[in-house]
Every structure is written in C-alpha cells, then in structure tokens.
Amino acid sequence: MRVCLITTFPPSRHHLSEYGFHLADELRRQNIDFTILGDVYAPEQADHFELPGFTVRRCWRVGAVSNALRILTAVREIRPDIVWFNLVYSTFGTNPVAAFAGLCIPELVRAAGFRTHVTLHHLMDLCDLHHADISFPRVYRFAGSFATRLLLRADSVSVLLERYQHMLQQGYGAKNIGVRPHGTLGRPYPPDLASRPPSEFRMLAFGKWGRYKRLETPLDALSAVLSAVPNASLLIAGCDHPNRTGYLAALKEKWGTHPQVKFLGYLDEDQLDEVFRTAHVAVMPYLSSGGPSGVAHIAARFGLPIVAAEVEDFVRLAEEEGLTIDTYKPGNSVDLAKCLIALAHDPARQARMAEQNYQVAVQSTMPRIVASYVTEFKRLLDEAKRLPTAPEGEATAA
C-alpha cells in the first residue's frame, strides 16, 4: 500500500504541522510506503533543515490559489493507493479564496480516480468567527457549509469527537464518517511528581497565541494567584498564531520583566519533555475551540493536570476520552484564579488528575490511532477491488 499524506509538516509551523509529523512518524514505524506532500515553509522558521528519514515533496504553499494544480500533479506522478488529507478549514490559507480552493482539492483528487481519506480536526459549523475577525460571517458560513459537503465526498472521513460525527450525519446526511481520537503525540510518561516540587507551582500555557488562544486571562489572574500561592509562576511557551504576528512580542514587552512570568518561546519536540514534566498544571486559556486540543493531549502524555476554559469541545473531550479537566468561565480571570489556587493547595488532587490523564494517554497512543487509519485504508482498497474497473481517466470512487 502506497500512501500520500497531504499535510503541513515541520519545519513549517503552520496549523497541524506537529500533528502531521506524528502521523508520518508512526506510518514510518509501521513500515508503510508513503510520501508527504508538504507545505513550503519560510527558511527562517527552522534553519532550512528538513527532518531526516522522511520523503517530503514541498509542492504547495499556504495562501496560494494554485495549490490544487500542484498537488494533483504530484499525486498523478506518485500514483498512490490512498491520498490522506490532514486538515482544518484554514490549512491551505486564511485568505478565503485560497482556503476554499484548497478545500476543493480532496474532491478533485477523488474525481481524478484516487482513493481519498480526510481527517477533519474541527467543523466550520462550530467555529466562533468573532475571534477570526470575519467581516461577512454569513458568507463564510455558507462557504464553509459548501466546503464541508465537498470534503464529505471523500471515500471516507475521520473526525476526532463523536459530537462531530453526529453533527455531520444529522446535518449533512453523511454515511462515511468514522471517529478516531486525536491521540497522544509521542510516548506517554508516568507523572514524575519528584520533578514537580511542592515548593513551586508552575503553571504552563502552551500554544499558538493571539487568536482564540489568548493569554490576557491568566496574566490578569496572576496577581490573585500569587497572593494565595507566592511560589507560583506562569510559563508561556509557543509562538504567535500565523494571523497574529507580534502578539507575544507585545505581551513580552509588558510582562517580560515580571519575576514570576517566563516566556520560553517555541518548543521543539525534544524540548517538550523537560517543560511539561516539570510543570504542575497546563492552563488552556481559550475563548473558543478549534477542535479537540493537541495541547490537552500533550499534557496527558506527561501526566499533567489541566485547567481549561469551559468551552464545549473540552467538555466533550473530557466526557468521550476520560480526561480530567478543571474548567473556568472563558475570559474570567477571577474564576481562573480560584481554580488554580484550589489546585495549588490540593497536592492529592494534582496527583489524581495527573494519573488519570496519563492513563488516558496510554490508551490512545499514536500506534493505536494510526493502526486504525491503516485498517480503514485497507478496507477502502478491498472495496475498490470489488468494484468494476472504470475506463482510464474516470473516477473509481463512489
């Protein structure tokens, strides 16, 4: 079986590049023959170096309207058995024309006669367009609904929550939807309580900041937290959201000299271990959600308690996967401070949350998740063998 994985991919830092790496890494471990069709990245993002051990063709660019032609040309040259798309609605660009043109690519590839699978990380129906600074939300909703219908024409589609599956089945009549959890990005580590000394309380906020993930709430809560927990500190890791360049720099200018606030910058894979294993809690100060959080799964991987804004996707994530998450009212710094103070004063609860989240991570490792995808791909290929052969140039997919 030969697979084309179409995804953003490191050293690119665009949406889902880290997730794309973990999918590819596990495909490699499972000895699948695959090629990554990745995005062209800016050289300053990562010292110009490709990751070793992967076959990557940088054939498309975020924001380009020509991506469909470039990807279709590459797929026709490689002639894979399965073309796998790892997507959010803005994968191919934040410009509406480029984004919509990109979301048409799975249908164009399917129409060209290739078997397609789409992993869709969120739904446009649930996106809070207010935080995206959208001028014409009704137009976006209509275009998003149309794009969703195009994506659902893939041979099969995976979503990350049962809630998404039910919405697509009920709202769009979809019959080809499977639920495959986000999965733990990397090897799970048992909670290392010795690395989390009781003399400190390290609150870690990690992400791509400035859009719906914002740091004002934990920063505003810091004073109240320090009044009750003088040994607390706020660690801020990650980078700007692609549409919010300069967001972290502005915050660092204001807060960079605060002794209990540390800006760690972007964390590469080999830096996650030290930062997450020595933190006491992961703080997820979101105003809305862009899908099941990768940060929550990284926190679970390292056996870390989680405090998150009470948005629907996090509530469902806890229900469906069994993560334990303390929630606060989105944007409410007083409520967040109360949650953090209560957790800081309850080491036994920290330990229970850490252990439960670790156990969830153990049950949803990437080998299990990717094996489920490979099983689905084999099903699609077996189904294709049972269908009549189409004349050359015509699609074989239903």
Residues 380, 327 within the same domain: no
- What pTM does this model have? 0.82
DSSP letter assigned to residue 184: B
Task: Grade residue 247 by pLDDT with cuts at 50, 70 and 90.
Answer: very high
Question: In this model, does residue 48 exceed pLDDT 60?
Answer: no
Give the list of residues 6+ apart from residue 297 with CB closer than 8 angstroms, or none: 182, 183, 184, 185, 361, 364
Nearest to 82 by CA among 373, 369, 370: 373
Highest mean pLDDT among 187-196, 204-213, 218-227, 285-294: 218-227
User: What is the domain range of residue 135?
Assistant: 2-183+365-386
64-90 confidence digits (pLDDT tens): 999 999 999 999 999 999 999 999 998
pLDDT band at 266, cuts 50/70/90? confident
Task: Kindly indicate the confidence band of residue 388, based on its pLDDT and cuts at 50, 70 and 90.
Answer: low
Asked whether residue 188 is assigned to any structural domain, the reply reads no
Q: Tens digits of per-residue pLDDT, 143-165?
A: 778 999 999 999 999 999 899 99
pLDDT at 315: 87
154 and 46 fall within a common domain: yes
CA gap 379, 373 in Å, rounded: 10
Quick one: 156 and 62 in the same domain? yes
Q: Where are the beta strands (DSSP E) in 246-378?
A: 261-265, 281-284, 306-309, 325-328
Model confidence at 130, in pLDDT bands (50, 70, 90)?
low
Give pLDDT, residue 392: 42
End-to-end Cα, the chain, rounded Å:
20
Residue 393 lies inside a defined structural domain of this protein:
no
Beta bridge partners of 158: 119, 178
252 plus 146 within the same structural domain: no
Query: Do 179 and 201 belong to one domain?
Result: no
**Domain match, 176 and 94 both:** yes
Return the closest-CA partner of residue 324 out of 308, 313, 312.
Answer: 308
Amino acid at 101: A
pLDDT at residue 85, as a whole number: 98
Q: Are residues 353 and 225 in the same domain?
A: yes
**CATH of residue 294:** 3.40.50.2000
- Rounded to a whole number of angstroms, the CA Rg of the chain reads 21
The shares of helix, strand and coil residues in the chain, as percent rounded to the nearest 5, are: 45, 20, 35
174 and 198 belong to one structural domain: no
pLDDT at 291: 67
User: Does residue 23 lie within any of the structural domains?
Assistant: yes
The pLDDT confidence band at residue 225, using thresholds 50, 70 and 90, is very high
307 with 198, same domain?
yes
Asked if 113 and 262 sit in the same domain, the reply is no
If asked whether residues 85 and 18 sit together in one domain, one would say yes
Tally the domains of the chain: 2
The answer to whether residue 243 scores a pLDDT higher than 90 is no
pLDDT tier for residue 33 given thresholds of 50, 70 and 90: very high
Residues 265 and 179 in one domain: no
